[in-house]
Structure 1
Amino acid sequence: MPNQPPSSGPPPSTGRARNPHTHQAILNATVELLGEIGYQDLSIERVAARAGVGKATIYRWWNSKSALVIEAMEHGMPLSPPPHTGDPRTDLRATIQTAVHTYSGSAAGSTVPALAADIPRDPSTAARLRQFLRPRRDAAREVLHQAAAVGALPVDVDIETVIDLFVGAIFYRSLVRGLAVDDAMVEQLLELILDGRLPRTGN
């Protein structure tokens, strides 16, 4: 049977359990390489060499590069629990800061757009990517629901669009404009969401 991964669909079942040490070594190697060379230059060959395993082992357990990378990010970039101080401003600030770290201060920031670009070649990537992002979005949604429950936001606030607003702003500023997402921008986003205050230049 050839050791080539199928183009889409679930990985084939081999009837063999994954060796936990080998499995973790592969995930660790993937996270390390993402940080060093990025998603585009990462290859199964490089992961296999870094982990000290054969390519066939990786292809047996993951049916595509994107499947391997997303699982590696899930294990190597754990999600912090949402803040629960009871103060909407404090909790939302922490939520935005977490998004800044995830999407502009870690390997995930550049990997997520690269994974999205892979979707036309591997449609199953879309579902995997949504699965990776879902708990991060759920955490933000929980904080915004709490803010609405105590009157810091309107009860009919469109929470999904609010999440898109601050995550999209972080992505665009860091990846497209090439600028740092600093504390000042975090405060601007916070004031925009909670106070309806548009960012000013300060001049």
Structure 2
Amino acid sequence: MEDSYRHKGLRRGLVNTLIEKGIKSKMVLDAIGKVPRHFFFDNAFVEHAYQDKAFPIGEDQTISQPYTVAFQTQLTGAGSGSKVLEIGTGSGYQCCILLELGAEVYTIEYNKVLYERTRKFLPSMGYKAYFFQGDGSKGMPNFAPFDAILVTAGAPTIPTALVEQLKPGGRLVIPVGDDKSQKMIRITKKEGNKLVKETFDNFSFVPLLGEHGWGKK
């Protein structure tokens, strides 16, 4: 796996694209600029790695569009020392961005093939997270509470279990809608368990599977 000057230049171009699209967090932009996204692509498709678009990774899943990754990460407010639950490990790219921020990441993947692939691949790149396979729609109560919970799949509703696993001041970022389009939602848990809900742009994610998602596959 080579990360050449050319690749780094392409990443700088991607970062500039994200700035133009409205991403403001310097920490998030720096993280995008560090993670070699082409490592997640077969050699035949490397030219696609630094385009701002999603790309299939098999198992009916995709590596998310960089703008989507940056937008969601920015909404979490995660930073150094944050304890973050990622629901939907997928390729592992989003996980790497969170790790570059200095977060402690717990990541859970429903699909066993992707789980096995990613839990081996990310450490080979030097990224260390806590990897789990199972129903992420229930969260991970044994490791709660979390400073941030980031869901990388579209949910029909906001799972109560995830809100309950936030720390005071914690944020849940989750796309909610139907199987075609979702609104990005951020729930912030204030003191006294008061919840503040914010609604952002439309996105399109693969479905969240599991008990509090779209059921089992």
TM-score (norm 2): 0.27
More strand by share: 2
| Greater fraction helix | 1
